[in-house]
Structure 1
Amino acid sequence: MSAEATDPGAHARKRSRPRIDLRRLGRVALLGPVARDRLPDAIGHVAEAHRAHCPDADLTVLRRAYVLAESSHRGQMRKSGEPYITHPLAVTLILAELGAGTTTLTASLLHDTVEDTEVTLDQVREQFGDEVCYLVDGVTKLEKVDYGAAAEPETFRKMLVATGNDVRVMSIKLADRLHNMRTLGVMRPEKQARIAKVTRDVLIPLAERLGVQALKTELEDLVFAILHPEEYEDTRALITAAESGPDPLAEIAEGVRATLREAGITAEVLIRPRHFVSLHRVRSKRGELRGTDFGRLLVLVAEDADCYAVLGELHTCFTPVISEFKDFIAAPKFNLYQSLHTAVVGPEGAVAEVLIRTHRMHKVAEAGVVALGNPYAQDGSTAAQHDEPADGERADPTRPGWLSRLLQWQESATDPDTFWTTLRDDLAQDGEITVFGAEGGTLGLPAGASCVDAAYARYGEAAHGCIGARVNGRLATLGTVLTDGDTVQLLLAQDASSGPSPEWLDHARTPAARIAIAGWLEAHPDGVPGHPKSHPTPLRTPDRSADDSAPGTGGTGDRGAGVSVDVPGAPVRLAGCCTPVPPDDVIGFPVRGGAVTVHRRECAAVARMQALGRAAVGARWNDTGEWNGPADYRVTLVAESFGRPRLLADLTEAIAAADAAIVAATVEPPSEQRVRHTYTLQLPDAAGLPGLMRAMRDVPGVYDVSRAQQPAAAR
């Protein structure tokens, strides 16, 4: 049986880099100790790869680390039958090929010793120093005997916290997972699938965010082979067939080389094959593959300016596909990636995608943060510095904004299941945007983030009192989705008792915002008593029924309904959060003072109170469930808004369009750009009230419409 039949990822790896014979390494590792002045043969490949990136590296510490790892793991075997030492050797080789530093490679050789052998962290610290000890501790799993089912999520939490202080922790974990995925074929199918899903949901997004494309692409292919074997085999067959014939990109590549030579531009032009998942995505998008879709041209130059010179020549001498042009040099991706992307039309109409970058950019594109060397050196010789800008975002590229935010929200997710689910959701978000504060500073947010997310990213729990926003100078609702480059001014209420609405959760994309909002709502299931502005949002307000309803009549303006509940003699109030009217299906909840608040069953407050164990009581409309009060229904509503021209005219127009008559109206003087309007309105029947309130909320600038605190007199 072929290697590809037993290891689905073998074909993909064969296309990208040569394989190291781990069985031979295992035999060499078993030969025992070597002379103190000689490097063990087993780590010869590691030394060769390391010196290719760091010619002056001192390999003495690697020899000592290997000797400790080999002696500690001696006698241990992997499920594949190979000596266990082949695993840390392979992980270290992966990192050495990416250009990792000596400290990282030392920790990589030792990364399983504390977890699987008698070696202790104190021994590692004593022999190799604090840095290596920290890295080894960061990737050491928590014991299942202590944590049970929570061991895996809590191990990742520990690892992420360690990564926040030293990103090299995650570099080692990614390389460790890659080698384990390469050798996953010896596991049971169900365990392969479980590990592949975690790799897909957590490790691959982390590799993408850290910019380690070389690891990310191979992990994607290995996961693809396990979770989608049929699609994988179809893609493999297409690649095999394409490799058996001439490569249509070769002719275009030669034309590009000739063009650049004539222009006097020194450049290396390579054909870069697509990996399996990339080709599968192209096929899914286009339906049918072109001969040039199996790869892309990669042009490597010395300086940034040369990239644009190459672009100019290509667009002059070839027909460019303008829609394919992207400049990730002027505007790098959030994961450090820089390149120019374009596409040109070659002979006979063949379209070739082209990537243009410097050699330095290529190294960072492949290895991400691993290629930055030691980001914690204190001599200022590296790109990473420890200065904290005024906006709180670290200048250190190894501690990007997304990682800082992740570390903030994980502290609030005390439950392992909540942490695990939220982590997967967070990592599933594609891309990142940068928005600017009107007062200065910037915020990095995930694509699709709203003003709600910006508020919590800027102010933390103080964002509970956010009442609106201006986006690019214009008033906007808190649910407004932000785009890259927007300027945002967030407006906070002066009332410290203000709080979020349940609907904010519909607009929150960041875990920090969702966890903070959910925590507040859980702590305030009935809103904030005594504060009619407790939820000044452009959305519906939570329950304020204890304050805005009149006992015995069912609430403001609801005289004549006489709702019945299964608590004899109890005063009945209709909830202001959902404004129930006949024939709504209703349910009641006892509140302080012996009264019963009646909600619509689909009201969000009902689910919250039931989740908190609040006992519900039956409620129903009297008689036939039809409105049996007066023909005209009078109610007093309060509209909170930002001041703007024509606001009063727009509000009165919305009221008239809902077939409501204005009996009385007052407008308070503006205070800090906010205006309060109070209207006493007459409706044909109660059923029109929710629609009227929605219409008023939809008026631009209005962020809240609620019942008046005191009941209006009914005719």
Structure 2
Amino acid sequence: MSAEATNPATPGPVTGPAARWRARIDLRRLGRAALLGPAARDRLPDAIGHVAEAHRAHHPDADLEPLRRAYVLAESSHRGQMRKSGEPYITHPLAVTLILAELGAETTTLTASLLHDTVEETEVTLDQVGEQFGAEVRYLVDGVTKLEKVDYGAAAEPETFRKMLVATGSDVRVMSIKLADRLHNMRTLGVMRPEKQARIAKVTRDVLIPLAERLGVQALKTELEDLVFAILHPEEYEHTRELIVDNASRADDPLAEVADEMRTVLRDADIQAEVLIRPRHFVSVHRVARKRGRLRGADFGRLLVLVGEDADCYGVLGELHTCMTPVVSEFKDFIAVPKFNLYQSLHTAVAREDGQVVEVLIRTHQMHKVAEAGVIALGNPYAPSSDEPVDGERADPTRPGWLSRLLDWQEAAPDPDTFWSTLREDLAQDREITVFRPDGGTLGLPEGASCVDAAYAQYGEDAHACIGARVNGRLATLSTVLRDGDTVQLLMGQDPASEPSREWLEHAHTPAARIAIQRWLASHPSAEDADPRPEDGATTPRPTTEALSLEGSPTARPAANVVVDQPDATVRLAGCCTPVPPDGITGFAVRGGAVTVHRVECAAVSRMKSTGRPEIPVHWGDTSECRVTLVAESFVRPHLLADLTEAMALEGAEIVSATVEPPTQQRVRHTYTLQLPDAAHLPALMRAMRNVAGVYDVARTQTQPGVS
């Protein structure tokens, strides 16, 4: 919003929206027109002539009266205010509105854009805006109005963005105005102190540019990238500028030569198409230079082929691949599978005889409009069609999955600092994947998301009860990283008191998952420290110095590894369930006067109780050694057994016995009976085994051999 001044030295892109904008408008001339005051009533003021012309180019039948009235109010309320460059303040909302008009924004957006600083910078109130221009314009102006530093202090900036994002969740036009506002302020940042320029540029880089990318507004995103590049990396910017200038001075242009060849090919095929050269912007050239080293002529731009219909895109592709030398690895179809930000195009590349590779974009004129302007090109996405009744709900066709996720987790962000840092981290994840649910639904997740993220995306805080997952039909750990197109079935426990594991934080890639887990842990401060939760259903042993003791057995005698209350009793730990402290346990007398101890949930206990065999009360005594049987399931790979046994040895476990079953379908099952120096080591042991590459599950044994 406001206060920066024009700086002729501030660099911008060589071509693109900025160049067209600068060619058509002179802020100083607009400033002089504004100083003359509003035109006569009902006559369109000269100062918004360029806005009206750009608007009518996209919307020939648009009613310009709201723009006239908005300009009159904005000019009169800002009159006397000056920018730091000495220009009238009204030049700023005029410039912001022109940016949006050239991208095709509809009348309501332009009206709100003209008024976007009135409530923040003048005596105009939101109620006045609503009374004169309606609820929609009022909502948009409110959405981009900053919160006062006097009320919020250091939290003003993050809380302003939180407010703006929440408003964007109901109307994406809020963010369209903000992006255009930031672009003009970045263009005119030169009179600010260097440290303030850097601070604003960093926020633009971390928050506004990713939002422009997600909303598909490439025309704004690319210019913002170049302006930030010039401020934060001036030396690299200058080097890139020199590369562009040197290339422009060369006599030969491989892009122009290939473009002419393509025009001939398509003309001979009777395909109506435009072939244009699209120079790369500064940041794009810089990225290509870092990737490829020495740049050649074809690296400084791409060819854009524009056609009338979707089918023509594939016709062009077929002709180019038939008549020229395609680079097959460069082909991508974003028409059949659009990007999450509405972008559609066919991408391919062709090779010249000299080895240079020319990248080609193929799209319709409408696709090109959306590729440049994103959600702005959709006009008013909330206007009901004539055959649909208007109800109280807004169905927003422009609200993508990433925005829904952002709005969900921001509600749980406990403070402005957490929100601000988490927002930047979330927006840094620049690719989205789609995973499928067995019920036919889908989940949109950032690239790198795990099953933990999928659980919280689908179930919210109920995901605390998640106990596992199947990915593409196969059992998988919750740490499994998902890929685009995977099918994920989340396995949920039935215990309402289920708890998330602290280890899930290591695998949580989305803010929604991390914040939910952290909030639970914060509200249960002793849960993970005093009584670590079992993983995947394993009973969790607490640190203890007790061993097993027997109550009421007059014939017991001492047994190896346990101290019992009755010295004559012999106690055995059942091999079917291998109990360890602090498992709930019970005992049964067996032949020879010994007592076999089982976990209370062991299937053998139910079987023996059903036959009338009496239980013998037992409890844990005062030694810490224990024996446990674990089952590990893994994929087949070389050296897996060696790596797994090494991991167990490093945790202090002694292998008493081991069984490895024959592999089936590239999976193998291992069963290990282990002696542990302390029952408290069990969770760490199971984690270490799971961390071995190829192992996807480790659990306590559930096999139930007969009891003698």
TM-score by length of 1: 0.78
- The alignment status of 1:327 with 2:322, answered yes or no, reads no
Deviations 1:529-555 (A, max 9, x none): 9988x44349x99xx67x5524699xx
| Aligned partner (choices 368, 371, 381) of residue 374 of structure 2 | 368
In structure 2, the CA distance between the partners of 1:212 and 1:694, relative to structure 1 (3 Å rule), is closer
Structure 2: tracts of 5 or more residues without a match:
1-5, 549-559, 564-579, 583-621, 660-669, 702-708
User: Structure 2: how far apart are the matches of 1:576 and 1:52?
Assistant: 77
- The alignment status of 1:549 with 2:544, answered yes or no, reads yes
- The alignment status of 1:7 with 2:6, answered yes or no, reads no
User: Structure 2: how far apart are the matches of 1:15 and 1:514?
Assistant: 40
In structure 2, the CA distance between the partners of 1:167 and 1:636, relative to structure 1 (3 Å rule), is same
User: Structure 2: how far apart are the matches of 1:149 and 1:688?
Assistant: 46
SS at match of 1:6: coil
- The alignment status of 1:341 with 2:347, answered yes or no, reads yes
User: Structure 2: how far apart are the matches of 1:54 and 1:221?
Assistant: 30
Aligned residues: 608
- The alignment status of 1:536 with 2:535, answered yes or no, reads yes
Deviations 1:286-333 (A, max 9, x none): 011011111110000000000000000000111011111111111110
User: Structure 1: how far apart are the matches of 2:305 and 2:377?
Assistant: 20
SS at match of 1:519: helix
User: Structure 2: how far apart are the matches of 1:338 and 1:353?
Assistant: 16
Match of 2:102 in 1: 97
Residue 14 of structure 1, CA deviation: 8.5
Residue 526 of structure 1, CA deviation: 2.9
In structure 2, the CA distance between the partners of 1:551 and 1:387, relative to structure 1 (3 Å rule), is farther
User: Structure 2: how far apart are the matches of 1:139 and 1:257?
Assistant: 45
| Aligned partner (choices 632, 635, 646) of residue 626 of structure 2 | 635
Q: One-letter code of the match for 2:513? A: A
In structure 2, the CA distance between the partners of 1:691 and 1:364, relative to structure 1 (3 Å rule), is closer
- The alignment status of 1:221 with 2:207, answered yes or no, reads no
In structure 2, the CA distance between the partners of 1:380 and 1:536, relative to structure 1 (3 Å rule), is farther
User: Structure 1: how far apart are the matches of 2:502 and 2:412?
Assistant: 19
Query: How many percent of aligned residue pairs carry the same amino acid?
Result: 74
| Aligned partner (choices 291, 294, 304) of residue 298 of structure 1 | 304
User: Structure 1: how far apart are the matches of 2:307 and 2:458?
Assistant: 40
Residue 25 of structure 1, CA deviation: 0.4
User: Structure 1: how far apart are the matches of 2:310 and 2:482?
Assistant: 31
Deviations 1:198-224 (A, max 9, x none): 000000000000000000000000000
Deviations 1:83-122 (A, max 9, x none): 0000000000000000000000000000000000000001
User: Structure 1: how far apart are the matches of 2:562 and 2:487?
Assistant: 48
Residue 694 of structure 1, CA deviation: 4.7
In structure 2, the CA distance between the partners of 1:71 and 1:159, relative to structure 1 (3 Å rule), is same
User: Structure 2: how far apart are the matches of 1:62 and 1:93?
Assistant: 12
Alignment of 1:609-648 (within 5 A): 634-637=625-628, 639=630
Match of 1:108 in 2: 113
In structure 2, the CA distance between the partners of 1:690 and 1:104, relative to structure 1 (3 Å rule), is closer
Alignment of 1:207-218 (within 5 A): 207-218=212-223
Match of 1:473 in 2: 473
Q: One-letter code of the match for 2:419? A: F
Residue 439 of structure 1, CA deviation: 2.7
Contact 2:345 2:367 in 1 (8 A): yes
SS at match of 1:100: coil
In structure 2, the CA distance between the partners of 1:165 and 1:42, relative to structure 1 (3 Å rule), is same
- The alignment status of 1:51 with 2:56, answered yes or no, reads yes
Contact 1:125 1:133 in 2 (8 A): yes
Match of 1:522 in 2: 522
Alignment of 1:252-401 (within 5 A): 252-379=258-385, 396-401=396-401
Structure 1: tracts of 5 or more residues without a match:
389-393, 561-574, 578-628, 666-676, 707-715
- The alignment status of 1:682 with 2:682, answered yes or no, reads no
Deviations 1:163-219 (A, max 9, x none): 000000000000000000000001000000000000000000000000000000000
Greater Cα radius of gyration, structure 1 or 2 = 2
User: Structure 1: how far apart are the matches of 2:416 and 2:485?
Assistant: 35
Q: One-letter code of the match for 1:549? A: T
Residue 248 of structure 1, CA deviation: 2.1
Deviations 1:471-491 (A, max 9, x none): 000010100000011000101
Q: One-letter code of the match for 2:38? A: P
User: Structure 1: how far apart are the matches of 2:7 and 2:352?
Assistant: 35
| Aligned partner (choices 245, 249, 257) of residue 244 of structure 1 | 249
- The alignment status of 1:30 with 2:21, answered yes or no, reads no
Q: One-letter code of the match for 1:221? A: D
Deviations 1:594-613 (A, max 9, x none): xxxxxxxxxxxxxxxxxxxx
SS at match of 2:86: coil
Residue 695 of structure 1, CA deviation: 5.7
User: Structure 1: how far apart are the matches of 2:647 and 2:192?
Assistant: 70
Match of 1:410 in 2: 410
Residue 346 of structure 1, CA deviation: 3.0
In structure 2, the CA distance between the partners of 1:689 and 1:521, relative to structure 1 (3 Å rule), is closer
Alignment of 1:427-506 (within 5 A): 427-506=427-506
SS at match of 2:496: coil
- The alignment status of 1:660 with 2:666, answered yes or no, reads no
User: Structure 2: how far apart are the matches of 1:189 and 1:498?
Assistant: 52
Residue 501 of structure 1, CA deviation: 1.5
Deviations 1:640-698 (A, max 9, x none): 889999xxxx99x9699857354999xxxxxxxxxxx9987435899997885456545
Aligned CA-pair RMSD: 3.7
In structure 2, the CA distance between the partners of 1:331 and 1:216, relative to structure 1 (3 Å rule), is same
Deviations 1:554-604 (A, max 9, x none): xxx9999xxxxxxxxxxxxxx999xxxxxxxxxxxxxxxxxxxxxxxxxxx
SS at match of 1:184: coil
Match of 2:160 in 1: 155
SS at match of 1:186: coil
In structure 2, the CA distance between the partners of 1:47 and 1:5, relative to structure 1 (3 Å rule), is closer
Residue 705 of structure 1, CA deviation: 6.0
Contact 1:4 1:10 in 2 (8 A): no
Residue 15 of structure 1, CA deviation: 7.5
User: Structure 2: how far apart are the matches of 1:146 and 1:500?
Assistant: 37
Match of 1:230 in 2: 235
Contact 2:216 2:373 in 1 (8 A): yes
- The alignment status of 1:702 with 2:687, answered yes or no, reads no
User: Structure 2: how far apart are the matches of 1:559 and 1:160?
Assistant: 62
User: Structure 1: how far apart are the matches of 2:148 and 2:625?
Assistant: 65
Q: One-letter code of the match for 2:378? A: L
Residue 704 of structure 1, CA deviation: 4.9
TM-score by length of 2: 0.79
Deviations 1:8-27 (A, max 9, x none): 22756697424021001000
Residue 258 of structure 1, CA deviation: 0.6
Q: One-letter code of the match for 2:9? A: T
User: Structure 1: how far apart are the matches of 2:280 and 2:635?
Assistant: 55
Residue 335 of structure 1, CA deviation: 0.2
Q: One-letter code of the match for 2:320? A: L
Residue 510 of structure 1, CA deviation: 0.6
User: Structure 2: how far apart are the matches of 1:37 and 1:253?
Assistant: 49
Q: One-letter code of the match for 1:702? A: D
Q: One-letter code of the match for 2:220? A: L
Residue 521 of structure 1, CA deviation: 1.4
| Aligned partner (choices 169, 177, 185) of residue 182 of structure 2 | 177
User: Structure 2: how far apart are the matches of 1:678 and 1:498?
Assistant: 27
In structure 2, the CA distance between the partners of 1:464 and 1:240, relative to structure 1 (3 Å rule), is same
